[in-house]
Structure 1
Amino acid sequence: MNAVLKPQSTACPLINDAFLSNPYPTYQALREAGPIHWSDEFFGGAWLLTDHADVEMVLRDPRFSAQRTGAWVKDREESPGELGEFQRLFARALLFLDAPDHPRIRKVLQVGFKPDVIQKLTPHIEQTITHLLDQAEAADSFDFIEQVARPLPVHVMTRLMGIEHTQVNDFMVWSDDLAAFIGTPLPTRAQARRAQTSLVAMGEFFDDLLEHKRQKPGDDLTTRLQQAEAAGEIQGGPELLAQCAMLLFAGHETTRHLLGSGLQALLTHPEQWRRLKQEPTLLPGAVREFLRFDSPVQYTGRRVVTDLVLHGQLLRRGDLVLPLIGAANRDPARYTQPDTLDIARNEGSSLAFGSGPHVCIGAAITRLEAEMVFGQLLQRWPDLHLRSTEPQWGRNPAYRGLTSLPLRQPLTMLTTHYSSKDYPTDLRRVVVENNAACEGHLLHLSR
């Protein structure tokens, strides 16, 4: 079947208020019109793919390159080299690399996400969640995004990387600036300049931290990266700094949006909330369903390496292709009743964390954080409700998430504070074993 090839009319852009609130009707309309579309709205022109099979193929196929930052950055410059410092770091991040650099660097980073490392991190995640929920319980108002979903991933990543918590707020601001640039179809020069300022600030921070770890090594990922540099496994300077900065960014963006969107989905489907209370061993599968149902990353990008034909259309070398992950995860050819939230769904993992060589390196930690947050919420406040029926979605079409999620606390609050040791024994076992198994699967995919 031939695709609809005409560029989207500027009078009817894809990205509008309705799309940002709910992109899934737009994805459905695109899918029904054909499997491939050209749109001028994204980065000056890109091919859009909606079908699960096509999206997964592009993410795995070496004919589609992850190296895509050069023209993207230059198009935002007012004068040559204006964003040179940004590009120097940005282009070296794992997210934008192909072989042979990608597998070499991923192998170095993978040591920080092994099951034994995650196991050691688990008590800190428990304590942090308990502390954040204690603070929320004591406050007059309870905005889940601001008080839990936004700070938690930064606290976890800073612990993983051996960073003191004094700059948590800076990290969140820096991450927001990067997300605004990366996730906007046509970022403004002002957004590009803010992103450069924040990325350079992150690079300078990690430059100082790496020097500190040389003098006083610790049991953390930054120390391991410094030692890998000394062993010649990763290059110092931009290559090393880029990985540090993007790890912190990626760990923050994906997890906070999963937490917010997942809780919002649960509370707007009360039958699913009740079932999860009754069957807590469904929690790991429920988190996988939240990732599929409302993916934190809605699309990613690839550049065509060599001319090829896809669905009868000629894609030329250098063309940008956008695999629409959010659309693929609602593809009825892959999932039964894809627009239905079903925490007991048993149809395999979604593409929320990608697929192939670039599958998310921190997926197991993200899932573990979500399982622990929802586990504590269910035990602490089993009758939790939304305070507003109008969700406040962000304006970023690539990184879909809520900016606010006000919750109505039950009239009678439980005073006992929970940690994972209070979970039913079978739930504790499922959480730990599920994440170890999934991490092993991701390690297999990354080879």
Structure 2
Amino acid sequence: MNAVLTPPAGALGRPIVDAAFLADPYPTYRALSEAGPIHWSDEFFGGAWLLTRHADVEKVLKDPRFSAQRTGAWVKDREDAPGELSSFQKLFSRALLFLDAPDHTRIRKVLNAGFRPEVIRGLAPYIEQAVGELLDRAEAASARNTGNTPFDFMQAVARPLPVRVIARLMGIEASAQDDFMVWSDDLATFIGAAQPGREQARRAQASLLAMCRYFEALLPRRRQAPGDDLVSRLVLAEAAGEIEGGPELLAQCAMLLFAGHETTRNLLGNGLQALLSHPAQWQKLQQSPELLPGAVRELLRYDSPVQYTGRRVTTELVLHGQLLRRGDLVLPLIGAANRDPARYAQPDRLDIARRDGGSMSFGSGAHVCIGAALTLMEAEIVFGQVLRRWPGLCLAGAAPQWGSNPVYRGLLALPVRNVAAC
């Protein structure tokens, strides 16, 4: 066992992931950071080093001594399901998210072509139309009820929009989108669990295999008649020898769809909840809509859809006086880094005009989020339309209904109402 700076529960004397953390993780991050720069906790995947400070999180995400290839112990070597999850591991381990160079470099080069600025800009009219349709539907449903009743922004807009957009980018039929949302939820539950259970792993495997079966049926059609969508780009890269067929190709298709849905959904929900909880900032954005691009980036910093990620140590090293051995798991706490007072002035304050730099929410280094520009554009379009159409929007519920996933922080529901004065 490594020598540790603090007891297994960090600086808190209680479990880190509890109801209070899920409702608001930032006091926990602050307590950890104030107690020291690095902590060992047995609470995550059988033991992990936790890093809270911006400089350390950025270092780990950029330093090749910290590897993204971490799915083996997570999936394959599970004592509660020996050999049962081999299909899951075979696919999961080939996803871009869990690869290092040179495979990561090779596959990312292929995918980058599908996220070029002109491709993303070309989606803007479709996103504008899709957002308008979803807002029309929510408005009509609310108006049918007496008293302009509340509606759930998550179900009306934040949940369906991202899967529509990534499906459009990838060239996926609209009829499959509801299934993809369910499958994505199962993957997110597994990836986001501090200690994923056997049933969570089984459900994640079943959903990943279902995704892959869908793409196995789609890929032959794209090989025969490729279009300008992302799946067509992947099969053309396969034909050119730039990406392997089978698990490698299927893994990219499935994980692109999952990642494109999960984080954008939570940015939309978390962002609107933050704005409506700070009426002065909501009004300021209405008065100065040119602040919207910077406001979206501030919302990402203030309440990140991704709270932490993981890396494995590839070679023995010392960090802040602690010996990290090869194979140790390190969790850079992105949500904590985004509230680091050494990096941001008044970090717990939402300020849509903030000028002290971007956040860590899209990661850093080789694994920086490949779809960041698309996510930002979706959020700007959604918030822009909401501001114009519903200037009197306000929260209609009591306490926010946060999900139980400590990695993918997001709301289960966000009841809102559009009235003249809240």
TM above 0.5, yes or no, is yes
**Which residue of the partner structure matches residue 29 of structure 2?**
27
Deviations 1:110-142 (A, max 9, x none): 011001101111111011000000100011341
Which consecutive residues of structure 1, in runs of 5 or more, have no partner in the other structure? 413-447
Partner of 1:115: 117
Shift of 1:216: 2.0
1:5 corresponding residue in structure 2: 6
The change in CA–CA distance for 1:411 and 1:339 in structure 2 (over 3 A counts) is: closer
Q: How does 1:256-275 map to 2 (within 5 A)?
A: 256-275=265-284
Aligned to 1:403: 412
Which amino acid in structure 1 is aligned with residue 25 of structure 2? Answer: P
1:207 pairs with 2:209 = no
Note closer, same or farther for the CA distance 1:341–1:11 as it changes in structure 2 (3 Å cut): closer
Asked whether 1:241 is paired with 2:250, we answer yes
Distance 1:28 1:3 in 2: 19
**5+ residue gaps, structure 2:** 143-149
1:36 paired residue among 35, 38, 63: 38
Q: Distance in 2 between matches of 1:120 and 1:206?
A: 24
- Per-residue displacement from partner, 1:213-233 (whole Å, max 9, x unpaired)? 012211101001000000000
Instruction: Give aligned-pair identity as a percent.
Output: 71
Distance across 1 between alignment mates of 2:7 and 2:79: 28
In structure 1, what is the Cα distance between the partners aligned to 2:82 and 2:194?
22
Q: 116, 131, 134: which one pairs with 2:133?
A: 131
1:292 has 2:301 as partner: yes
Cα separation, 1, equivalents of 2:359 and 2:40: 25
Which amino acid in 1 is paired with 2:86?
Answer: G
Aligned match of 1:186: 195
The equivalent position to 1:328 in structure 2, one of 330, 337, 361, is 337
Question: In the aligned structure 1, how far is the partner of 2:78 from the partner of 2:66?
Answer: 24
Letter in 2 for 1:214: R
- Tell me how many residue pairs correspond in the alignment: 411
Deviations 1:402-445 (A, max 9, x none): 01000112269xxxxxxxxxxxxxxxxxxxxxxxxxxxxxxxxx
Please say if residues 3 and 311 of structure 1, whose CA atoms lie closer than 8 Å, have aligned partners that are also in contact. no
Cα displacement (A) at 1:374: 0.3
Structure 2 partner of 1:94:
96
- For the 8 Å contact 2:81–2:198, the answer to whether it is kept is no
The residue number in structure 2 matching 1:277 is 286
**Counterparts of 2:17 and 2:90 in 1: how far apart (Å)?**
30
2:175 matched to which residue of 1?
166
Deviation, 1:78, is 3.2
Output the TM-score relative to the length of structure 1. Answer: 0.90
User: Does the Cα contact within 8 Å between 2:392 and 2:420 map onto a contact in 1?
Assistant: no
Structure 1 residue aligned with 2:146? none
> Which residue of 391, 398, 405 corresponds with 1:389?
398
Counterpart residue number, 2:84: 82
Question: SS in structure 1 opposite 2:342?
Answer: coil
Distance in structure 2 (CA, Å) of the matches to 1:411 and 1:35: 47
- The Cα shift of 1:77 comes to 5.1
Counterpart residue number, 2:368: 359
Q: How far is the alpha carbon of 1:80 from its aligned partner?
A: 2.6
- Paired with 2:356 and 2:365, the residues of 1 have a C-alpha distance of 19
Distance 1:94 1:183 in 2: 17
Distance in 2 (alpha carbons) for counterparts of 1:285 and 1:155: 25
Q: Secondary structure at the match of 1:242?
A: helix
Contact kept in structure 2, 1:3 and 1:34, CA below 8 Å: no
Residues 282-338 of structure 1 show CA distances to partners (whole Å, capped at 9, x for unaligned) of 000000000000000000000000000000110000000000000000000000000
Contact 2:394 2:417 in 1 (8 A): yes
Could you say what secondary structure the match of 2:343 adopts? coil
- Alpha-carbon distance between aligned partners in 2 of 1:411 and 1:308, rounded to the nearest angstrom: 59
Cα distance in 2 between the residues matched to 1:89 and 1:340? 41
- Aligned mates of 1:411, 1:77 — CA distance in 2: 58
The whole-number CA distance in structure 2 between the counterparts of 1:368 and 1:76 is: 40
Distance of 2:66 and 2:233 partners within structure 1: 31
- Secondary structure of 2:179's partner? helix
Q: In structure 1, what residue type is equivalent to 2:198?
A: R
Distance of 1:224 and 1:193 partners within structure 2: 31
Q: CA deviation at 1:54?
A: 0.2
In 2: Cα distance, 1:110 partner to 1:262 partner: 27
Give the Cα–Cα distance (whole angstroms) in 2 for the partners of residues 191 and 370 of structure 1: 30
Q: Helix, strand or coil for the counterpart of 1:139?
A: helix
1:215-252, CA deviations, whole angstroms, 9 ceiling, x for partnerless residues? 22111010010000000000000001000100000011
TM-score (norm 2): 0.95
Specify the code of the residue in structure 2 equivalent to 1:192: A
1:11 Cα deviation (Å)? 7.5
1:385 partner SS = strand
Q: Is the 8 A contact 1:76 1:192 kept in 2?
A: no
**Residue type at the aligned position of 1:267:** L
Deviation for aligned residue 1:351: 0.4
Map of 1:417 onto structure 2: none
Return the match for 1:16 from 3, 18, 34. 18
Contact (CA 8 Å) 1:88, 1:238: kept in 2 or not?
A: yes
Conserved 8 A contact 2:216-2:250: yes
Distance 1:206 1:251 in 2: 16
Structure 1 counterpart of 2:45, one-letter code: F
**Which position in structure 1 is the counterpart of 2:60?**
58
C-alpha change, 1:225 and 1:129, in structure 2 (3 Å) is same
Runs of 4+ in 1 over 4 A off after TM superposition: none
Q: Which residue in the other structure is 2:388 paired with?
A: 379
